[in-house]
Copies of this chain bind each other. A is one copy, B any other.
């Protein structure tokens, strides 16, 4: 099912599979390759962060950033998961998932309809970031994650803003990627059915930027936006 054959994983280049990261379905779609995981994470804007509150699951969309083998999520110091991560010892158990939908897969049979996607699931414990230097680096990573190069072209957080912002860290340890690529998988006996079958790719990318009406005179579109 993978779009490209992969060489066997080397310890230095792959995450170690665990019971939680080996899927029960389509294990052939799973990958533990570090570069593949980083690439999927770096392409996303929003992750879905899961945690447990009062015994029940909660899943919230939120921005994130990556610095090496660490993911960062930020929010108001008043937000519930960030407060919980700061209060819990050793931290807050979370599951952080990033998914890209690449194409719709239309099969002749309803059963074989699918989507081509790339996802990363990270299990771990989120910890409050208290070191000021790590916090600044994490906030830069969060801004650069949305638009690479943007952190350097904006006013950094001041003391008041830093105090109002909580940052939590999740180490990339228990991690897997899952990829569905390629074409339609119909049953041989269905191939002559009179239904169109194929892939419908989803378009991606930036639309035309819309400048803030109050923009100071003489400020043109930055290169990091013009090139896409």
Contacts and interface: CB of A to CB of B under 8 A. Distances in A.
Interface of A: 20, 24-25, 45-46, 48-53, 55-61, 63, 75-76, 78-80, 93-97, 99, 101, 104, 106-111, 113, 115, 117, 119, 121, 123, 139-140, 142-143, 146-147, 150-151, 153-158, 161, 165, 183-184, 186, 190-216, 219-222, 225
B206 A201 contact: yes
A139 to B, nearest CB: 6
Nearest to A156: B110
A207 B202 CA distance: 5
Given A184-B212, A196-B219, A110 B140 contact: yes
B196 A153 contact: yes
Nearest to A79: B25
A147 B115 CA distance: 11
A198 B215 contact: yes
B154 A101 contact: no
Contacts of A156: 110
A67 B91 CA distance: 39
A215 B202 contact: no
A78 B27 CA distance: 13
B139 A110 contact: yes
B50 A57 contact: yes
Report, nearest first, the 10 A-B pairs whose CB atoms are least far apart. Answer: A201-B207, A50-B59, A48-B48, A50-B57, A61-B99, A50-B50, A198-B211, A197-B212, A59-B97, A111-B161
Given A46-B101, A58-B50, A139-B110, A216 B200 contact: no
Nearest to A183: B212
A156 B112 CA distance: 10
Contacts of A186: 212
14 contacts: A52-B55, A55-B93, A56-B93, A106-B154, A113-B142, A113-B150, A113-B154, A155-B190, A192-B216, A194-B219, A196-B211, A200-B207, A201-B206, A203-B207
A77 to B, nearest CB: 10
Contacts of A59: 48-50, 57, 59, 95-97, 121
